[in-house]
């Protein structure tokens, strides 16, 4: 296999042959940051955006800046808990690249939004707290990336604090995630004696005490006296040399193919808080993270370089602007060029949808996008026309696959205080379901709707929004159901038979697809064994 070194020298990032005007697709990097809460995702995001500096994409966006905050501060629940419930996207330019950073919700609860966001990225940065290593949520998010073969770049953060031994950390990544690791940089000291990073194999050092723009300084190798200057405690430099020698000689080297296939992760060490190691990380992303990849649709695979515009909606966000009840559909452009003013076809309905005001999102602003390319994420304001999973094209009848809906892990029956408002509740639930806030199941027996969520926080979000936006005070009742599955079969008759014999345990989702609800995992298994011709699925593609 071809092994290469990933250099971290201060040359501005440049992508192979990509140049600003010639190849808009090759210069795009669409990624997300995955981490456990508190590992430093927010801090790292801020620092990355600093590098992005100018928020205007020269020549591509005419910034009609309306100073509207895209920060998701509209909801009381977020303020109360200091969390960001909604996902957003931030576009910035650095070197030759346009970066689209998709933010995943930062709270502990796991929502489907997070999964769906990961369907729209081409790579991910995994942030690990150097004192804690791989934590539960990092692991869970990593598994989602692995399912989709998303390449991972690792940033070991908080080296300025007491940290674990770097070998131990690497070993943990390798063992718990079954992922090869290739350190690109190596920490010089840690905790109080953290002094910088050594660029493995390239004889360069980045000093913590140097101004960021100073870049790296050359050294003769690990024997260089600079290390004695940086590591002044008794025996520290000698220990470090042994370590670095082992790291340089004994660990895997970066391998582009293995990384792109998702088998190997390059590892950077740094401190987001001190803005240290972040430039190496962003340069690394520019150099090795994949440009937009092809996306599977029902009839064929769509390549990013195809001339006709296609895209899919992976997220709907309501009320980004508290003054206007707008809904923004976030669409990943998969191919072609999206031009402002063009008419796209919404494949689900066959109707044209004018893209009069597609938007780009920056750290604090949004701006009208005049054009966007594969890999970009644009926000399309709409009043409920667009749903999660929708495909937009220039006419072709294709539907993108893989924006999933997961069988909920918590189910509750809605309790409405005011029976007069049943119709309004129905409409509101339809909306919330389409936005992906909750899943809505309408039981066959005509009883009150059941909502399902993957993480409990979504129940609070729903309750608050029904009250705030629709004036509907609702509560939840327990249901006897704890699990549910979509059911499918090769024969319609089989489905009918199943539905008939499970009357009150059957419901329909928003698309009218049959859902079987069971009291326990045991009873679900029992039915699965009895009904061999029925497939019980816990993931459903949006259609
Ligand atoms: P998130 O929950 O992953 O978004 O984490 P935050 O970015 O909010 O960081 C959590 C806490 O760790 C905050 O108090 C940060 O100031 C702190 N933090 C983040 N990065 C570093 C770092 O590199 N060094 C140190 N010492 N603290 C950090």
* Nearest atom of ligand 1 to the alpha carbon of 127: 3
12 pLDDT tier (thresholds 50, 70, 90): very low
* Nearest atom of ligand 1 to the alpha carbon of 272: 23
DSSP string computed for 481-499 = --EEEEEEESSHHHHHHHH
For residues 535 and 501, give the distance between their C-alpha atoms in angstroms, rounded to a whole number: 16
For residues 144 and 419, give the distance between their C-alpha atoms in angstroms, rounded to a whole number: 41
* Nearest atom of ligand 1 to the alpha carbon of 46: 7
Please give the C-alpha separations between residue 93 and each of 81, 274, 483, in angstroms, as whole numbers. Answer: 32, 22, 45
Pocket test for ligand 1, best of 38, 128, 131, 197 (most atoms within 8 A of CB): 38
The proportion of the chain whose per-residue pLDDT surpasses 70, expressed as a percent, equals 85
For residues 74 and 394, give the distance between their C-alpha atoms in angstroms, rounded to a whole number: 34
For residues 78 and 372, give the distance between their C-alpha atoms in angstroms, rounded to a whole number: 31
- As for the ipTM of the complex, it is 0.99
163 lines ligand 1 (CB under 6 A): no
Question: What are the pLDDT digits (tens) for 364-386?
Answer: 566 777 889 999 999 898 888 89
Relative orientation angle of helices 278-288 and 41-52, to the nearest 10 degrees: 70
Give me 99's structure tokens.
């970066």
User: For every residue of 255-307, which 3-state class applies, written as one string?
Assistant: CHHHHHCCCEEEEEECECCCCECHHHHHHHHHHHCCCCCCEEECCCEECCCCC
Annotated binding residues, written as ranges, equal 35-42, 103-107, 157-160
Higher per-residue confidence, 49 vs 105: 49
- For the ranges 46-50, 153-157, 372-376, 494-498, the lowest mean pLDDT is seen at 46-50
Per-residue pLDDT, averaged over 384-391, amounts to 89
Q: The tokens 């346009």 sit on which residue?
A: 98
**CA 239, chain centre distance (Å):** 39
The residues near 181 (Cβ < 8 Å, ≥ 6 apart) are 154, 170, 173, 174, 251, 252, 264, 265, 267
157 lines ligand 1 (CB under 6 A): yes
Residue 318, beta-bridge partner list? 327
CB neighbour class for 294 (10 Å; exposed up to 12, middle 13-18, buried from 19)? middle
Pocket test for ligand 1, best of 32, 41, 43, 82 (most atoms within 8 A of CB): 43
For residues 324 and 162, give the distance between their C-alpha atoms in angstroms, rounded to a whole number: 47
For residues 102 and 32, give the distance between their C-alpha atoms in angstroms, rounded to a whole number: 5
The residues near 121 (Cβ < 8 Å, ≥ 6 apart) are 30, 31, 32, 102, 150
For residues 251 and 511, give the distance between their C-alpha atoms in angstroms, rounded to a whole number: 51
Instruction: Bin 5: left if φ > 0, else alpha if -120 < ψ < 50, else beta.
Output: beta
Question: What are the pLDDT digits (tens) for 202-239?
Answer: 899 999 988 666 678 999 999 999 999 999 988 999 99
37 lines ligand 1 (CB under 6 A): yes
Q: How far is the CA of 41 from the centre of ligand 1 (A)?
A: 7
Per-residue pLDDT, averaged over 153-164, amounts to 96
Give me 236's structure tokens.
């520290």
* Nearest atom of ligand 1 to the alpha carbon of 37: 2
Residue 445 has pLDDT above 70, yes or no: yes
CB atoms within 10 A of CB 4: 12
Per-residue pLDDT, averaged over 424-442, amounts to 90
For residues 172 and 201, give the distance between their C-alpha atoms in angstroms, rounded to a whole number: 23
For residues 222 and 276, give the distance between their C-alpha atoms in angstroms, rounded to a whole number: 21
For residues 146 and 153, give the distance between their C-alpha atoms in angstroms, rounded to a whole number: 13
The proportion of the chain whose per-residue pLDDT surpasses 90, expressed as a percent, equals 60
Q: How far is the CA of 162 from the centre of ligand 1 (A)?
A: 13
Pocket test for ligand 1, best of 36, 40, 274 (most atoms within 8 A of CB): 40
Indicate the pairing of strand 123-129 with strand 152-157. Answer: parallel
**CA 108, chain centre distance (Å):** 15
3-state percent breakdown (helix, strand, coil) of the chain, nearest 5: 25, 30, 45
Residue 431 has pLDDT above 80, yes or no: yes
42 lines ligand 1 (CB under 6 A): yes
45 pLDDT tier (thresholds 50, 70, 90): confident
Could you say which DSSP state residue 394 is in?
A: S
Q: How far is the CA of 146 from the centre of ligand 1 (A)?
A: 26
336 lines ligand 1 (CB under 6 A): no
For residues 189 and 167, give the distance between their C-alpha atoms in angstroms, rounded to a whole number: 13
Cβ-contact 185, 203 below 8 angstroms = no
206 lines ligand 1 (CB under 6 A): no
Q: Specify the 3-state DSSP secondary structure of 8.
A: coil
Q: How far is the CA of 42 from the centre of ligand 1 (A)?
A: 7
**CA 452, chain centre distance (Å):** 22
For residues 166 and 156, give the distance between their C-alpha atoms in angstroms, rounded to a whole number: 9
Question: What are the pLDDT digits (tens) for 184-204?
Answer: 999 999 999 999 999 998 899
439 lines ligand 1 (CB under 6 A): no
- Reported residue count of the chain is 543
Q: Specify the 3-state DSSP secondary structure of 176.
A: helix
Q: How far is the CA of 443 from the centre of ligand 1 (A)?
A: 45
Cβ-contact 84, 72 below 8 angstroms = yes
For residues 369 and 351, give the distance between their C-alpha atoms in angstroms, rounded to a whole number: 22
For residues 271 and 467, give the distance between their C-alpha atoms in angstroms, rounded to a whole number: 42
* Nearest atom of ligand 1 to the alpha carbon of 44: 7
Q: Specify the 3-state DSSP secondary structure of 514.
A: strand
402 pLDDT tier (thresholds 50, 70, 90): confident
Question: What are the pLDDT digits (tens) for 482-539?
Answer: 999 999 999 999 999 999 999 899 999 988 999 999 999 999 999 999 999 999 998 8
Residue 321 has pLDDT above 70, yes or no: no
Indicate the pairing of strand 343-346 with strand 351-354. Answer: antiparallel
Q: How far is the CA of 158 from the centre of ligand 1 (A)?
A: 7
Structure confidence at residue 213 (pLDDT): 61
Q: For residue 260, which phi and psi values (nearest 5 degrees)?
A: -65, -30
For residues 507 and 515, give the distance between their C-alpha atoms in angstroms, rounded to a whole number: 5
273 lines ligand 1 (CB under 6 A): yes
Cβ-contact 163, 130 below 8 angstroms = yes
For residues 205 and 269, give the distance between their C-alpha atoms in angstroms, rounded to a whole number: 13
40 lines ligand 1 (CB under 6 A): yes
158 lines ligand 1 (CB under 6 A): yes
Q: What is the pTM of this model?
A: 0.82
Cβ-contact 7, 199 below 8 angstroms = yes
Annotated binding residues for GTP, written as ranges, equal 35-42, 103-107, 157-160
Per-residue pLDDT, averaged over 80-107, amounts to 70
Can you list the domains of the chain with their CATH numbers? 35-80+125-184+254-288 (3.40.50.300), 295-393 (3.40.50.300), 404-541 (3.30.70.3280)
> N- to C-terminal Cα distance for the chain?
40
Output the residue whose Cα is nearest ligand 1's atom 11.
38
């Amino acid at each position: 296999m071809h092994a290469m070194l990933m250099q971290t020298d201060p040359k501005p990032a440049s992508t192979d042959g990509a140049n600003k005007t010639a190849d808009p697709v090759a210069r795009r990097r669409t990624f997300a940051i995955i981490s456990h809460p508190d590992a430093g995702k927010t801090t790292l995001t801020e620092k990355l955006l600093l590098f992005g500096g100018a928020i205007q994409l020269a020549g591509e966006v005419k910034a009609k800046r309306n100073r509207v905050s895209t920060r998701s501060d509209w909801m009381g629940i977020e303020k109360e808990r200091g969390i960001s419930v909604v996902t957003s996207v931030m576009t910035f330019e650095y070197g030759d690249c346009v970066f689209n950073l998709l933010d995943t919700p930062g709270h502990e609860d796991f929502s489907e939004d997070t999964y769906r966001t990961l369907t729209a990225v081409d790579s991910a940065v995994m942030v690990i707290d150097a004192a804690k290593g791989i934590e539960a949520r990092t692991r869970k998010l990593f598994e989602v990336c692995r399912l989709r073969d998303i390449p991972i770049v690792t940033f070991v953060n908080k080296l300025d604090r007491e940290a674990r031994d770097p070998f131990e950390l690497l070993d943990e990544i390798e063992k718990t995630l079954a992922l090869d690791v290739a350190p690109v940089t190596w920490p010089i000291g840690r905790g109080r004696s953290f002094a910088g990073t050594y660029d493995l194999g390239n004889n360069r050092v980045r000093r913590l005490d140097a101004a960021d723009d100073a870049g790296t300084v050359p050294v003769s190798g690990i024997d260089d006296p600079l290390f004695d200057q940086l590591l002044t405690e008794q025996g520290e430099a000698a220990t470090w040399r042994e370590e670095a020698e082992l790291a340089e000689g004994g660990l895997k080297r970066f391998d582009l193919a293995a990384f792109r296939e998702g088998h190997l992760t390059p590892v950077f060490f740094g401190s987001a808080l001190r803005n240290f190691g972040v430039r190496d990380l962003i340069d690394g992303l520019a150099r090795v993270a994949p440009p937009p990849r092809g996306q599977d649709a029902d009839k064929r695979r769509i390549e990013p370089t195809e001339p006709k515009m296609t895209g899919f909606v992976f997220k709907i966000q309501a009320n980004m602007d508290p003054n206007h009840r707008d809904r923004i559909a976030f669409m990943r452009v998969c191919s072609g060029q999206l031009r402002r003013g063009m008419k796209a076809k919404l494949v689900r309905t066959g109707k044209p949808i004018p893209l009069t005001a597609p938007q780009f999102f920056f750290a604090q602003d949004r701006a009208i996008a005049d054009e966007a390319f594969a890999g970009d994420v644009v926000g399309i304001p709409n009043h409920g026309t667009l749903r999660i999973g929708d495909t937009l094209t220039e006419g072709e009848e294709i539907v993108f696959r893989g924006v999933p809906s997961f069988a909920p892990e918590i189910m509750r029956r809605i309790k409405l205080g005011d029976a007069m408002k049943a119709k309004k509740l129905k409409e509101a639930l339809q909306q919330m379901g389409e936005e992906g806030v909750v899943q809505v199941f309408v039981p066959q027996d005509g009883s009150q709707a059941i909502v399902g969520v993957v993480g409990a926080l979504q129940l609070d979000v729903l309750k608050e929004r029904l009250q705030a936006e629709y004036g509907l005070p609702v509560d939840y009742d327990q249901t006897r159901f704890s699990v549910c599955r979509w059911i499918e079969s090769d024969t319609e008759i089989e489905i009918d038979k199943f539905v008939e014999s499970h009357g009150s345990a059957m419901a329909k989702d928003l698309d009218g697809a049959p859902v079987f609800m069971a009291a326990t995992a045991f009873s679900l298994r029992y039915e699965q064994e009895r009904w061999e011709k029925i497939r019980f699925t816990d993931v459903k593609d949006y259609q």
